[in-house]
Chains A and B, each alone.
Chain A
């Protein structure tokens, strides 16, 4: 197997799924974003987004904080340091393999 294929095989599967990749890419550019913003920008359904966020949270890539802003529930999502490092690694690996 060539080096490029090795690189492809080593891609982080947790990030590689298109829905999760969109979420992580969006969160990598900001400090935090709420559920509605991610819903609008990714185009995923509510259930789908919740499921992907839960997987990323379980992997330690995303931190989810449920608070209130003026009596309105606010689900704030942030990329953790681990998640940020994993995304950078994923980008490098993808660039190297393409």
Chain B
């Protein structure tokens, strides 16, 4: 009985990943970052570099968020219904602490690894893959576990093939962005096919 209650309380968390919109958004972001990396690398003037970086760091996630929100309103909510998630202050604080801890660990690792072979693709693979694996375990979404494992595998492979920051980063973003885009598109296609829109007023 308590398991049944747990199953119901866990449903909204799985609902958030039902439509594949997060994968699509992440895919678009990673592909745009693959464009940003060489652009920012080539910028010789500091202000140009700053402008490109700000545009990509602020505008790209914003565009991805607005795009997925628009699609959700038009195509997802009429099918699966609308859910407003709670924003728990402690969860938000935990996310901030985790992000700071990861950033500090990465900075420390980069500082320590100055004399050895750089490990940028591996760090990217781990930084992107670990949260996906944790999310998959917590929310029970197998697709995220596959993407997380893929992210680590791509990072590990690029570590041997292209360990430099620019080329390795670009190849990682291209490969992982394509994988996320494909995963999101397939999930969304299956979601739309499985769930026709319902007009409760007309029923």
Given the known inter-chain contacts A37-B81, A94-B1, A95-B2, please indicate yes or no for A29 contacting B198, CB distance below 8 A.
Answer: no
Tell me the complex Cα distance, A97–B191, Å: 40
Tell me the complex Cα distance, A69–B87, Å: 22
A91 at the interface (CB under 8 A from B): yes
Is B12 a contact partner of A40 (Cβ separation < 8 A)? Answer: no
Flag A20-33 by CB within 8 Å of B: 1 or 0 each. 01100110111111
Is B81 a contact partner of A34 (Cβ separation < 8 A)? Answer: yes
Flag A50-72 by CB within 8 Å of B: 1 or 0 each. 00000000000000000001101
Q: How large is the interface on A (under 10, 10 to 19, 20 to 34, 35 or more residues)?
A: 20 to 34
A74 at the interface (CB under 8 A from B): yes
Given the known inter-chain contacts A25-B9, A29-B11, please indicate yes or no for A39 contacting B2, CB distance below 8 A.
Answer: no
Flag B108-128 by CB within 8 Å of A: 1 or 0 each. 000000000000000000000
Is A30 a contact partner of B81 (Cβ separation < 8 A)? Answer: no
Flag B1-39 by CB within 8 Å of A: 1 or 0 each. 110010011111101000000000000000000000000
Q: Which residue of A lies closest to B83 (CB)?
A: A33
Q: Which residues of A contact B80 (CB under 8 A)?
A: 36-37, 40
Chain A interface, >50% SS class: helix
How many residue-residue contacts, CB under 8 A, span A and B? 82
Is A76 a contact partner of B12 (Cβ separation < 8 A)? Answer: no
In the assembled complex, the CB of B158 is this many whole angstroms from the nearest CB of chain A, namely: 38
Given the known inter-chain contacts A21-B5, A46-B203, A94-B1, please indicate yes or no for A38 contacting B84, CB distance below 8 A.
Answer: no
Tell me the complex Cα distance, A15–B125, Å: 46
Q: Which residues of B contact A41 (CB under 8 A)?
A: 8, 11, 15, 81
Which of B10, B80, B82, B85 gathers most chain A CB within 10 Å?
A: B82
Is B2 a contact partner of A37 (Cβ separation < 8 A)? Answer: no
Q: Which residues of B contact A (CB under 8 A)?
A: 1-2, 5, 8-13, 15, 73, 77-78, 80-87, 195, 198, 200-201, 203
Given A29-B9, A32-B84, A41-B81, 6 additional A-B pairs, CB 8 A? A30-B84, A30-B85, A40-B80, A40-B195, A41-B8, A41-B15
Q: Which residues of A contact B (CB under 8 A)?
A: 21-22, 25-26, 28-41, 46, 69-70, 72-74, 76, 91, 94-95, 98
